[in-house]
A and B are shown apart, each in its own frame.
Chain A
C-alpha cells in the first residue's frame, strides 16, 4: 500500500494514502447513504494524487483496492492497457498501468450541458468511436464493465474548437457510484434480455439525448431532456448554420436529419426497426446527418470496427500470475489477515492458472498445461480444474490416472450436487459448477471408456453429458458409442443432431454419413458428402474419401 512520499513505478510521487482511498472506494455506498450531509463525498477523496517526476505535472491514480478486489483490479488494468494502446484523444490519457491506473488530470466533471444538435451529435460520435474500438477488444457491455456513462466518467467540456468528450477508460467505479446515486436513470432499464452490444447502443443514444436541448445553451440554466417533438422543432426552427459546402446545407437535408432523429428515438425506446442497429458503427451512421462536418466524420465512421457480439477480452495471464504469486508471497495485510482471507487471492489466481493451462493445451504444450493445472488445484481444488487435469493426463497417455481422477470427481459432484465438494464458496450462482462443466466430466470419462472398449459405460456417460450440455461434440461422441454398440438408429439420431448444431464441422458429418450407409440410406449419405465438398472444396482428403465411399463418378 502506497503512503505519502512513496513512488509508484519509480516515477509517480504519491501525495496521499492508498489504504485510505481504497477504504473510501470500498465503502462509497455507505458514505453516500449515511455520510455527513454537510460534507458530501468529494471526488478528490476517491483519487490518489501524485506528481509525475518526469514531467513535474500532477497526475491522478485510481489505486487498487483491498485484497478482495484483486481479481477485478487486474481486469481493470487489462482494459487500461487496451485504452492506452488506442491513443484516442477523447479518452483521458492513461500514463501508467499496474498496480492501479495512472491518469493525466481529466477536465473537471460538470452536469450535462445543453448543446445545439450538431455539437451533441459530435460528442455522441466521439463516444461511439471509443465504444466501437473497445467492443473490438472485448470491453464494455455491462453495467459494471469499466465503462461508465455518467457525467463524472464520461465528461463533456468546451475547448477552443468546440465541445468534446473526455472519457475515463477504464472508468472509476467510485465516481460511477456517485453518478448513479444522483441519477438512477443511468442504470439501464431492461424490458427484455439484452446483449452487451445492444446495451451500449442504448446507453450511447441516452447520452446523446441527455445533451441536446430545444434551446441554445446560452438560454438554458439547467440541462433539459426534451422529447422527440422538441427535437424535431429544434431541427426545423432553430437549425444551426451549416458549414459551407457541408452535406447539411444541401437541399432536403432537414428531412434527413428528422429521419435520423426519429431513428435515434426508436433506438432509445427500444422499438423494433426494419433495419435494427446491431453494432455501434451502424449507430454512428445515424448521427452523421446531424453533425456540421459530416464529410470528415463519414471517413472516421467508415473505419470503425463492426462488432455485433463482444469477443472475449484478452488477458496477459503470465503477468497476472506473476502479480498474484507476488501478492501471495507478500502475506496477509490490511484488514484481511485471517488465514481464510487468502482465498480472496487464491481463487482468482487459480482461475488464471487454469486459463493459462487451457491456452497451453490448445497450443499443444501438454507439459506446461499439466504444470499450470496442478498449481491451480493446489490453490483451489475446484472440480472443473480436476476435469482439466484428467483431460491433460489422458492426452499425455496417462489414461489410468485420468480415469481415477474423473471417478473421484464424479463421486463428489454426482448425485449430491455440485457444491457438496466445495465449502469455501458460497451458493452465489456464478460460483456454482455449471451443467456444461458437469457435462465435460462425463464426456471425458465416457470417451476414455469408449477407447477402452467399455461400451455400455461409455454410452451412459456420454448420454449424461449430452443431456447436461447438448453440444455437437457430445452428440457426436454419443453417436460413436451407439455405433460401436450396433445401435445404428440411435447413432443416426444423435449424429444428425450434432450436424444440425454445427453444420460446418465436417468430422461430425462424416460420422453421420457412415451410419447412414450402414442403415442403407445411401442417397442421404451421398447428399451429406456432397455438402462436405461444398463446405470445403479445396480439401483433398474429403475428395479422396468421397471417391472411396461413393466412387469417383458420383
Chain B
C-alpha cells in the first residue's frame, strides 16, 4: 500500500516537474507572424485601363486595317475569277 502511494506520489511529482521545467517556448510569441515591416517593394498592381483616345484610335486603326484586308481579299478573288473567266473564254 505504502509502496503504491509512494509510486503515485513520485509519478505526480514527475508530472509536476515536467510541467514546471522552464522552456524556451515560454518566451516566444503565441503564434507565427508575417513580418510587418518588410515592405520595401509595393505589391504589383494590374495594368491600368487603356487610355481613352488611344483606345479609340486603336479601334479605328483595327477597323481600317480589317476593311483594307477585306478589300484586298475581295480584289484578289475578283482578279482570280476574272483570270478564270478569261481562261474559259480563251
Contacts and interface: CB of A to CB of B under 8 A. Distances in A.
Interface in A67-94: 68, 71-72, 75
A370 to B, nearest CB: 11
Contacts of A244: none
B44 A68 contact: no
A444 interface: yes
B88 interface: no
A473 B52 contact: no
Interface string B17-34: 000001111111111111
Contacts of B41: 355, 358-359, 362
Contacts of A361: 44
A270 B3 CA distance: 72
B10 to A, nearest CB: 26
A71 B35 CA distance: 7
A451 B40 CA distance: 30
B35 A348 contact: yes
Contacts of B24: 22-23, 26-27, 66, 334-336
B87 interface: no
Given A358-B42, A391-B45, A447-B49, A380 B27 contact: no
A384 B42 CA distance: 12
B43 A314 contact: no
A180 interface: no
A355 B44 contact: no
Contacts of A549: 53
B53 A430 contact: no
A388 B44 contact: yes
Interface string A385-396: 001100110110
B47 A395 contact: yes
Contacts of A348: 34-35, 38
5 contacts: A335-B23, A358-B44, A424-B31, A428-B31, A431-B34
Top-5 shortest CB links A-B: A480-B49, A335-B24, A358-B41, A343-B32, A26-B27
Given A344-B28, A347-B34, 19 more contacts: A26-B24, A26-B27, A27-B27, A343-B32, A348-B34, A348-B35, A351-B34, A358-B43, A369-B44, A388-B43, A391-B44, A395-B44, A444-B45, A447-B48, A448-B46, A450-B49, A481-B49, A514-B52, A549-B53
Interface of A: 22-23, 26-27, 29-30, 66, 68, 71-72, 75, 312-315, 317, 334-336, 343-344, 346-348, 350-352, 354-355, 357-359, 361-362, 369, 380, 382, 384, 387-388, 391-392, 394-395, 424-426, 428, 430-431, 437, 440, 443-444, 447-448, 450-451, 473, 476-477, 480-481, 483, 507, 510-511, 514-515, 545, 548-549
